[in-house]
Every structure is written in C-alpha cells, then in structure tokens.
C-alpha cells in the first residue's frame, strides 16, 4: 500500500481513539479537572506518567543525541530514569499524603506564605512553557514530514487536537488518553527497533543486540569491519578511525557527572511529573505508581540506547564513500547484495535537515569528524548541482592537511541533524512502509501527550494557584472566594490561553529551543526539588529559609545559564569548568545550604505547620485530594 495512505490510516485511527476517550472521560468538577478525582489505578497512572514524561524529545531526538555523543549520552538515559527513584522515595508519597492539587499548593501551605506560593507559580509557568514550546515544534515537524503539510499547519492541527482533550477532559481526559498514547508510542518505537536489531545483529531484542555481533561486513572508509565483530567494537573502531571520540568513553567525566545529577533532580522536581502522583487513591499507590511509570519508561529508554548504536553503524555503513547520484537513485548494492537505497538522503535534504558538500569533488559522500559547513548549512534557494544535490552558500572549502591527517585521510562532507536519526532510521534500513507509518503515529502520540500534560499544569497554576489562592483569597478565612464552577470555567479559559501561547511559540520558536530545555531542568533542580525535600524531611525549615533558598538557587542558575548560553559568555570563564547544562547541580547545593542557615537564624515554623509535617510523614488517612 502507498506510504502516504498508510500514514493517514494509522494517524487517523489513533487520533479517533484519543478523542473518543476524551469525550468519554469528560471532567465535571475541578477535582476531576486537576487530579482526575484522585481515583486513577496505579498501573494506568504509571502508564500515563510515562506517556506524559516521554516527549517528542525522547521519541525523536534522544536516540540521535546518543548516537552522536556515545557514552556522554548516558547522562540523559540515567538522569531521566534515575530521577524517578528520587521521586518515588523522597517526594511522591508525602505529596500524595499532603493531598492538594498542585505543587505551588504544597509550597504555599507548607511555608505558610503567599510569597513562596507566587514564586512557585512563576517557576511552574516558566518551566512548563519552555518545555511546551519544544513539544509544539515537534508536533509541527512530524506533521510536516509525514502528512506533507507546512510546519505551521502542522502546529495548528496539533493545537486543535490538544484543545479537544485537555480543555474538555482535564486531567481525567488526559490520563486515559495518555494510556492509549503510551501503547501507540511504545509499539511504534519498539517494532522498528526490533527490525533494526535483527538486521544489524541477528538478535531479536534490541537491548541484547546492542552488545551482539554485526550481521554484515561493512567498510567505514578506513578499513573493512568483518562480519561477526562485536557491535560496540565495530563502533569504537569506526568512530576512532574517523577522528571522533570513542563511542564507549565519555568526553568529560566531571561534566557528565554534573549533568546526570541535574537531570535526575530536575526530573524529580518537574511540576508536570509531580502532579501525577496526586491522582492515585493512596500513598501506597503513589509509590507503586512511580515504579510502574519507570517500568514503562525503562522499556523505551533501554531501546533508545540500542537504536542509537544501530543507527550510527548504519549511517557509517550506508553513506561512507558512496556515489551520490547512484545512491539517491537506488542503484547501489551493499556487500550482501541488497539495495542500498539513498532515497531517504534526498528526502531529508529537501527538508533541509541533511546536506552534502562535495569538498574534494569526487562525487562521493564522505563522513568523518569535522564541520562540512560553517554552522548549519545555508541552502542557496532551491538551486541544485548537476548530480541533483542541493547547493549551499556556507560550505567549508577543500579538505585541509591537518583535517585529513586527523581523520585518516577523510574530510567530512555532510551535515546530519540529530533529530532525523529516529525518523529516518526505518527508511535507512529499508523497512516496510507500515513501519514508517507507525513511526508517524508514535511521534505524534509522544509530542501530544506531553504537550497536553504541560498545558494542564499551566492552566491549573493560573486558575487554582494564582486566581484561587492568591488573587481571590478571602483574607479572613484563607479560602478562595471563587465557586467551584467559576474556577472550573477559569481553568478551561486558562487552558485555551496556554494552548494559544504554546502554538505561537511553536510557530515562532525562540531560536534556541534545544538550549531552553537545559533551563527547565536546571531551574526545577534548583527550585522545586530542594524546597519540597526540605519541606518534608526538615521539620525546622521555615518560610524565611525556603524563600531565601528558592530565590538564591534560582537566581544563580538563571543568571549562569543566561550569561553563558544567550549572552555569549566564553567557555574559559565557566565556574570550575562546569557547562551551563550542568549548573543546576550547583544551584541546588546553594539552595540547600542557604535555606539551612537562614532557617536556623530565624524563628521555627508555627506549631500547626510542624504538625502538618508530622502528618505528611505518616501514610495512613490520605483520603481524597481535598479542595480548599
């Protein structure tokens, strides 16, 4: 069947399921809207959490990052899974026992302060919006590639779908939709991975195949790698020959260490993840549900690591020293006699995410360490060379002596955007059309589920925390003067506004979506993670300590990232050589230290707060998530 028709069918069916679920699970109260009524079974909640967590970045980009970074990429794998251990043991059970709707709820109540609550609301909104901008862009890219529409049209379509199920269904709708999305997503990721694993290593399970032996012989341009070589040896040998760092060795152990910590603490401190644990019935369920979430995430992440290794080998084996014209026309054969069809190369070149610059003029593609263009390739309109490849205006000149010497006589001629590795993989490996169609449905599920979860957190922060708990707070009773109905209406309104802003950010992305993700994790690690841990584990922690800790930790992290990422601070000036991506670790430590000393120098929290902490620590009697 035609690829395009298959894609329409797969995407169409999966979307109908999501919308049907959303209509079925329509939210009727604020409690259903914010925390799904607190009645989601742990396995379903774990699956929904996994879908919420695994974004377009995980589905589309992560394998690409690891494929090109090798061992350094392990920081993402460990950070984005290890955070759940912290979440399960240090945060989730106590927050569930606390039993409110949002993270600012906890910060505001535990620290008996609207200043703390407002700082928390601002953080939630900032962190969630940086995140959601990337998601909407991801939706746009997948739509544009697979439905062959304009990226902006893709973003609009995505907004429409998210609108239906987050505005109508609230958390209840989102949770059950996400269960379906997880199933679609995991199926879409593992099926191609199994095909790849069989093809590259003759092993069924990708997690095992990654450590297996190659099923074919290939040339990396410098030497021939025999069939039956261990895959990791083949990779280490090949990337080494081509002038890259070894695949299995980290570039800088210290920076990998800092980054892993920031990603772990940041994961545990992300509001849209934490809020998930308000939706289960009991404290015990909150613990179990974190376990299930990690099971479902682990299936995906261990597969991602394997796909990364397969795709790097495939890339080297399939493009090294091939004649461009014959390659894209599908006239080349591999060593085992099968066709090496380069149609994918052409497709992504059209999309501008891949480019070739024939620096030595031999008509063949070469791949090695080094830049073939000054930054990203700048295409010369739609102009093409005689052999059909797109012309660029910022290509590097003829290969230099030093470059050839460093890379065993090979000068790099291509630019490969990391984000295409996963989506292009099935095509590179010549997998059947339905597998590619499945990828499209999976990528959309990943991006939409995360976007919906984030939008809900934003709308809850605005309607519940900002309006309900700060602006419309009755000074005398400390309760919100909003009725349940008007708060629900406000929540839906806030969701609509959030979707529009997210859509705007998706269509006009700040040029630095990739960097701002460092922001989200750094800020979460330097703010929510410490403030919640201290709130539970340190009974003596008071509002002065919390406010001081949050402000100092946040400001430090914020300024460091802004200075080095957006204002062009020089690498030489890094504090102890720490990259901005890992600085949240220091921000977190500063937060802990400042909060400790300030709290000890100021009066202890009132008795009722100390009693509240005592009660959070005991699991029984969690009851329902209560309204104010």
Contacting another protein within 93-132 (CB under 8 A): 93
CA 96 and chain centroid, separation: 25
Strands 414-416 and 354-356: antiparallel
Neighbours of 211 (CB within 10 A): 13
Contact assessment for residue 626 and residue 279, using Cβ atoms and an 8 Å cutoff? no
- Least separation in angstroms between residue 588's CB and another protein is 14
Pull the structure tokens for residue 166. Answer: 């987050």
Residues with Cβ < 8 Å from 103, sequence gap 6 or more? 95, 120, 124, 271, 274, 275, 528, 532
Q: What angle do CA 18, 24, 27 make, to 5 degrees?
A: 105
Residue 295 within binding range of another protein, rule CB under 8 A = yes
Q: Which is nearer to another protein, 291 or 409 (CB)?
A: 291
- Least separation in angstroms between residue 73's CB and another protein is 8
- The neighbouring-strand residues paired with 230 are 213
Residue 294 within binding range of another protein, rule CB under 8 A = yes
Question: Which of 20-28, 100-108, 173-181, 301-309 is the region at the interface with another protein (rule: CB under 8 A)?
Answer: 301-309
Q: Which is nearer to another protein, 269 or 395 (CB)?
A: 269
Answer for which of 113, 152, 219, 302 binds another protein (CB under 8 A) is: 302
The residue assigned the tokens 């602006």 is 471
Continuous segment of H or E residues that includes residue 219: strand 218-219
Answer for which of 305, 315, 499, 518 binds another protein (CB under 8 A) is: 305
Residue 290 within binding range of another protein, rule CB under 8 A = yes
Pull the structure tokens for residue 391. Answer: 């012309």
Binding mask 526-565 for another protein (x = CB under 8 A): -----------x----------------------------
Contact assessment for residue 71 and residue 249, using Cβ atoms and an 8 Å cutoff? yes
- Least separation in angstroms between residue 620's CB and another protein is 4
Closest CA to 100 of 288, 279, 267, 269: 279
Question: Which of 310-318, 350-358, 593-601, 620-628 is the region at the interface with another protein (rule: CB under 8 A)?
Answer: 620-628
Residue 41 within binding range of another protein, rule CB under 8 A = no
Residues with Cβ < 8 Å from 350, sequence gap 6 or more? 390
The residue assigned the tokens 């902490």 is 613
CA–CA distance, 19 with 169 (Å, rounded to integer): 10
Answer for which of 112, 187, 230, 574 binds another protein (CB under 8 A) is: 230
Strands 414-416 and 390-392: unpaired
Q: Which is nearer to another protein, 73 or 169 (CB)?
A: 73
CA–CA distance, 231 with 590 (Å, rounded to integer): 43
Contacting another protein within 330-359 (CB under 8 A): none
- Least separation in angstroms between residue 49's CB and another protein is 13
Answer for which of 23, 89, 575, 601 binds another protein (CB under 8 A) is: 89
Contacting another protein within 60-79 (CB under 8 A): 66, 71, 73-75, 77-78
- Least separation in angstroms between residue 554's CB and another protein is 24
Question: Which of 8-16, 54-62, 107-115, 207-215 is the region at the interface with another protein (rule: CB under 8 A)?
Answer: 207-215
- Least separation in angstroms between residue 93's CB and another protein is 8
Answer for which of 19, 90, 122, 147 binds another protein (CB under 8 A) is: 90
- Least separation in angstroms between residue 623's CB and another protein is 10
Contacting another protein within 576-615 (CB under 8 A): 614
Question: Which of 211-219, 459-467, 552-560, 593-601 is the region at the interface with another protein (rule: CB under 8 A)?
Answer: 211-219
Contact assessment for residue 306 and residue 212, using Cβ atoms and an 8 Å cutoff? no
Residue 225 within binding range of another protein, rule CB under 8 A = no
Say how many CA atoms lie within 13 Å of 159 toward its Cβ: 21
The residue assigned the tokens 């409110």 is 100
CA–CA distance, 202 with 182 (Å, rounded to integer): 27
Number of residues that bind another protein (CB under 8 A): 54
CA–CA distance, 493 with 580 (Å, rounded to integer): 36
DSSP 617: H
Contacting another protein within 234-263 (CB under 8 A): 248-250, 253, 256-257, 260-261
Question: Which of 296-304, 389-397, 455-463, 525-533 is the region at the interface with another protein (rule: CB under 8 A)?
Answer: 296-304
Residues with Cβ < 8 Å from 397, sequence gap 6 or more? 359
Residues with Cβ < 8 Å from 537, sequence gap 6 or more? 90
Q: Interface residues with another protein (CB under 8 A)? A: 66, 71, 73-75, 77-78, 81-82, 84-85, 88-90, 93, 207, 210-213, 230-233, 248-250, 253, 256-257, 260-261, 264, 282-284, 287-288, 290-291, 294-295, 298, 301-302, 305, 537, 614, 617-622
């Amino acid at each position: 069947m035609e690829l395009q028709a298959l894609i329409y069918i797969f995407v169409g069916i999966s979307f109908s399921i999501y919308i049907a679920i959303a209509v079925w699970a329509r939210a009727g109260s604020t409690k259903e809207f914010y925390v799904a009524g607190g009645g989601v079974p742990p396995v379903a909640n774990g699956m929904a959490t996994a879908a919420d967590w695994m974004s377009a970045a995980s589905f589309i980009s992560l394998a690409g990052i690891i494929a090109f970074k090798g061992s350094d990429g392990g920081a993402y794998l460990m950070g984005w899974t290890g955070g759940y251990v912290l979440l399960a043991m240090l945060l989730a059970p106590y927050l569930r026992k606390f039993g409110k709707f949002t993270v600012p709820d906890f910060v505001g109540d535990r620290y008996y302060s609207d200043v703390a609550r407002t700082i928390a609301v601002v953080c939630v909104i900032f962190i969630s919006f940086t995140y959601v901008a990337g998601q909407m862009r991801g939706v746009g890219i997948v739509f544009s590639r697979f439905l062959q529409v304009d990226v902006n049209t893709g973003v609009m379509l995505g907004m429409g779908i998210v609108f239906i199920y987050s505005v109508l269904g609230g958390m209840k709708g989102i949770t059950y939709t996400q269960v379906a999305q997880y199933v679609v997503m995991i199926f879409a990721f593992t099926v191609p991975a199994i095909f790849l694993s069989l093809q590259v290593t003759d092993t069924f399970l990708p997690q095992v195949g990654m450590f297996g032996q190659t099923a074919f012989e290939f040339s990396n341009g410098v030497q021939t790698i025999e069939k039956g070589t261990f895959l990791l040896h083949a990779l280490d040998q090949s990337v080494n020959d081509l002038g890259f760092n070894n695949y299995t060795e980290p570039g800088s152990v210290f920076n990998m260490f800092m980054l892993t910590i920031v990603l772990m603490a940041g994961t545990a401190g992300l509001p849209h993840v934490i809020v998930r644990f308000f939706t289960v019935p009991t404290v015990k369920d909150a613990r179990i549900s974190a376990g299930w979430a990690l099971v479902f995430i682990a299936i995906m992440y261990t597969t991602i690591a394997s796909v990364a290794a397969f795709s790097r080998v495939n890339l080297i084996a399939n493009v090294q020293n091939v004649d461009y014209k014959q390659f894209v026309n599908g006239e080349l054969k591999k060593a085992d006699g099968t066709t090496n069809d380069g149609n994918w190369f052409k497709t992504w070149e059209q999309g501008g995410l891949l480019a070739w610059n024939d620096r030595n003029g031999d008509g063949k593609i070469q791949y090695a360490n080094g830049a073939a263009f000054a930054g990203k390739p700048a295409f010369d309109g739609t102009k093409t060379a005689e052999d059909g490849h797109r012309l660029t205006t910022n290509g590097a000149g003829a290969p230099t002596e030093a470059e050839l010497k460093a890379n065993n006589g090979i000068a790099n001629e291509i630019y490969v955007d990391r984000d295409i590795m996963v989506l292009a993989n099935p095509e590179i490996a010549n997998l059947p059309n339905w597998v590619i169609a499945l990828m499209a449905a999976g990528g959309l599920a990943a991006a939409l589920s995360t976007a919906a979860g984030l939008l809900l957190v934003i709308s809850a922060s605005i309607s519940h925390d900002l309006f309900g708990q700060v602006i419309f707070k009755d000074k005398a009773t400390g309760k919100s003067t909003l009725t349940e109905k008007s708060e629900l209406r406000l929540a839906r309104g806030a969701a609509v506004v959030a979707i529009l802003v997210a859509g705007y950010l998706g269509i006009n992305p700040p040029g630095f979506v990739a960097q701002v993700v460092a922001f989200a994790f750094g800020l979460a690690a330097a703010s929510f993670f410490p403030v919640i841990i201290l709130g539970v584990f340190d009974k003596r922690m008071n509002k002065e300590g919390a406010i001081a800790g949050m402000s100092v930790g946040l400001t430090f992290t914020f300024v460091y990232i802004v200075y080095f990422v957006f204002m062009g601070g020089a690498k030489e000036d890094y504090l102890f050589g720490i990259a901005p991506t890992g600085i949240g670790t220091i921000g977190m430590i500063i937060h802990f230290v400042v909060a400790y000393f300030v709290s000890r120098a100021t009066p202890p929290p009132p008795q009722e707060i100390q009693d509240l902490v005592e009660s959070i620590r005991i699991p029984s009697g969690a009851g329902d998530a209560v309204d104010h």
